[in-house]
């Protein structure tokens, strides 16, 4: 990737500063990832970087694979001052998310802002086929929230984050049978179309249109789960583990159809306990200390259920989004191609007259 230059802020006594260089993270950079930059996520960055290099080669052989993550670094005088990790949200690569944005702690506030904004703008510019971007940040984040707005992101959804400690669920009731009127199913890849229908029914319309999710996306992201099917044969609830990338820790997801919210309470609590009991079957990395659940603003019944379970509310998180509009580079060439495609049909009996290309504007 060709380095992109962006000027760091100039203080009154420092004068001209060397340019900020943005480029892909390489294996040789792993030794430069200090604790003040990535905290305790060294293993995460290392695993994703190694997997990304492998996935790039596999995607050349198998073009249908999901795009590899984008890992970019910002350097000043050879020192890494910021990192960004971007992940494709679907196999087509039309939607991407800013998963991690790390900035070196010793930097002053204005320099951190400049580095972060340069990384965000650059990763958006280099993502192939991206039409939409998502980002999450705490509603109280005074650094990331303003710069995301400056980069074109707009708040789309506000959610509260609730932490669940699996150790506290050992005393939850377990039931051998599903709730009355429902059938319990364990996740199977063939259930992806039904799961997509449930997701569409519970996702806000604007967000659903931006995500462009498919059943194959859900089939790939779902590690395992417990599903409740109504007597009509449609999914009423899905409790599952999702993995955005094979090297990332899984996430806990509980989705309930709006017409079956009466499940919030002991029935859904028992199914959640069953799912957590099954977690070790889905891989060695499922034994994490804390799980988190999200609650959209206005979902009062879900919030009451999370409170009754004894979960801790960590705060409010914003989901932000922005669309990418790409300029058409060759409009005249496209008009000629359209004319060549239309001409044979228009020469048929009673066809429309062939358009006069001499009247086309360049």
Q: Are residues 9 and 120 in the same domain?
A: yes
Q: Could you please report the per-residue DSSP string of 41-92?
A: -HHHHHHHHHHHHHHHHHHHH-TTSPPPPEEEEEEETTEEEEEEEEEESSTT
Q: Are residues 283 and 218 in the same domain?
A: yes
| Inside any domain, residue 115 | yes
Alpha carbon 359 to chain centroid, angstroms? 46
Residues 6+ apart with CB under 8 A from 123: 70, 72, 84, 86, 98
> Given its phi and psi angles, is residue 233 left (phi above 0), alpha (psi -120 to 50 degrees) or beta?
left
**Structural domain range at position 193:** 166-289
Q: Are residues 118 and 11 in the same domain?
A: yes
Least confident residue range of 58-67, 165-174, 203-212: 58-67
Q: Are residues 122 and 16 in the same domain?
A: yes
Q: Are residues 113 and 226 in the same domain?
A: no
Q: Are residues 118 and 171 in the same domain?
A: no
Domain boundary (234, 258, 289) is at 289
pLDDT of residue 356: 46
- Read off the pLDDT band of 7 (50, 70, 90): very low
| Inside any domain, residue 334 | no
Number of structural domains in the chain: 2
Q: Are residues 282 and 192 in the same domain?
A: yes
- pTM for this structure? 0.80
pLDDT, tens digit (0-9, with 9 covering 90-100), for 92-103: 889 999 999 999
Q: Are residues 219 and 265 in the same domain?
A: yes
| Inside any domain, residue 351 | no
pLDDT of residue 165: 81
| Inside any domain, residue 331 | no
| Inside any domain, residue 180 | yes
The backbone torsions φ and ψ at residue 147, rounded to the nearest 5 degrees and listed phi first, read -75, -30
Whether the CB-CB separation of 238 and 272 falls below 8 Å is answered with: no
| Inside any domain, residue 305 | no
pLDDT, tens digit (0-9, with 9 covering 90-100), for 73-94: 999 888 899 999 999 998 888 9
| Inside any domain, residue 316 | no
Residue 174 is part of a domain; what is its CATH number?
3.40.630
Q: Are residues 271 and 209 in the same domain?
A: yes
Q: Are residues 20 and 83 in the same domain?
A: yes
Q: Are residues 179 and 280 in the same domain?
A: yes
Q: Is the pLDDT of residue 330 over 70?
A: no
| Inside any domain, residue 358 | no
Q: Are residues 8 and 110 in the same domain?
A: yes
For range 136-157, the mean pLDDT: 94
């Amino acid at each position: 990737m060709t380095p992109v230059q962006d000027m760091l802020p100039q203080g009154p006594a420092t004068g001209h500063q060397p340019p900020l260089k943005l480029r892909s993270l390489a294996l040789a950079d792993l030794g430069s990832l200090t604790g003040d930059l990535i905290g305790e996520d060294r293993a995460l960055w290392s695993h994703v970087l190694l997997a990304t290099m492998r996935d790039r080669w596999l995607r050349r052989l198998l073009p249908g694979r999901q795009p590899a993550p984008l890992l970019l670094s910002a350097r000043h005088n050879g020192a890494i001052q910021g990192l960004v990790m971007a992940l494709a949200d679907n196999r087509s690569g039309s939607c991407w998310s800013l998963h991690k944005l790390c900035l070196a702690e010793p930097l002053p506030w204005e320099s951190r802002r400049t580095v972060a904004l340069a990384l965000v703008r650059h990763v958006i510019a280099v993502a192939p086929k991206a039409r939409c971007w998502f980002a999450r940040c705490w509603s109280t984040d005074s650094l990331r929230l303003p710069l995301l707005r400056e980069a074109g992101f707009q708040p789309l959804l506000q959610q509260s984050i609730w932490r669940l400690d699996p150790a506290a669920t050992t005393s939850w009731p377990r039931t051998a049978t599903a709730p009355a009127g429902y059938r319990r199913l364990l996740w199977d890849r063939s259930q992806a179309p039904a799961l997509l229908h449930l997701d569409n029914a519970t996702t806000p319309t604007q967000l659903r249109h931006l995500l462009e999710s498919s059943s194959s996306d859900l089939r790939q992201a779902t590690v395992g789960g417990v599903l409740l099917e109504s007597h009509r044969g449609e999914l009423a609830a899905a409790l599952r583990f999702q993995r955005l990338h094979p090297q990332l820790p899984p996430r806990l997801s509980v989705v309930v159809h709006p017409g079956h919210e009466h499940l919030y309470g002991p029935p859904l609590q028992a199914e959640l306990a069953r799912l957590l009991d099954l977690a070790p079957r889905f891989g060695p990395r499922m034994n994490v200390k804390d799980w988190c659940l999200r609650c959209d603003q206005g979902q009062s019944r879900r919030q009451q259920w999370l409170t009754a379970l004894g979960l801790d509310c960590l705060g409010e998180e914003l989901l932000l989004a922005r669309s990418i509009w790409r300029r058409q580079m060759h409009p005249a060439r496209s008009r000629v191609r359209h004319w060549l495609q239309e001409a044979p049909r228009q020469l048929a009996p009673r066809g429309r007259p062939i358009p006069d290309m001499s009247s086309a504007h360049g």
